[in-house]
Amino acid sequence: MPIKKLSNGKYRVDISLGIDPITGTRRRKTKIANSFKEAEEIYYSTRREYHNGELPSSLKKAYTFTELTEKFLAIKKEK
């Protein structure tokens, strides 16, 4: 589990939210909790929200083929 105890007694939760289809990089979210139980709750609730589609669009990007095509053509047009 991606929960690590810090030197100050708090816990860091590192949540992997999949891979960005455009850049190919891993999407991550990091939070700090005061106890291990709180850290577990943050981890599981954030994963559940992500997989249910409840997180804001800034964290979960889904592009349609048309949007990707438009972005690609705009970049190519600039060159």
Q: How far apart are CA 75 and CA 67, in angstroms?
A: 12
Domain assignment of residue 15, given as a range = 3-78
Residue pair 17/28 in contact (Cβ under 8 Å)? The answer is: yes
Q: Is 46 helix (H, G, I), strand (E, B) or coil?
A: helix
**How many folded domains does the chain comprise?**
1
For 13-63, how does the pLDDT look when each residue is reduced to its tens digit (9 = 90+)? 998 887 777 777 888 889 999 999 999 999 999 888 887 766 654 544 667
| Whether this model's pTM surpasses 0.75 | no
